[in-house]
Amino acid sequence: MVLQEQGGMRLLGFRHQEMKQGYLRKVLVLQLKPQLLLVVMLQGSWQLWEKQLGIWMVQMQMILVRKRGP
């Protein structure tokens, strides 16, 4: 089941675990190509996590765009 799709990437799984003092642990399973899965684990505060994921998604999109070119 695809939860979200953006720029050729598919989010297949997501797990969210709250830890003490506002810290979070998140695990994402991304499908970059039909045979290529990437598992990402992030932990930290919610604001830090959003910033890390935002930067990471932008970097991944740049890599995917570069690879599509000639």
* pTM of the predicted protein model: 0.48
Mean predicted confidence (pLDDT) in 19-31: 75
Contact predicate 31/10, CB 8 Å: yes
The total number of structural domains that make up the chain: 1
pLDDT band at 61 (very low <50, low <70, confident <90, very high): low
* Residues 42 and 32: beta-carbon distance below 8 Å: no
- More confident call, 24 vs 62: 24
8-12, 36-40, 47-51, 60-64: which has the minimum mean pLDDT? 60-64
Angle in degrees, CA 58, 62, 67, rounded to 5? 150
Note down the domain range covering 43.
4-68
3-state secondary structure of 26: strand
Closest CA to 56 of 2, 11, 13: 11
For the cut 60, the answer to whether the pLDDT of residue 30 exceeds it is: yes
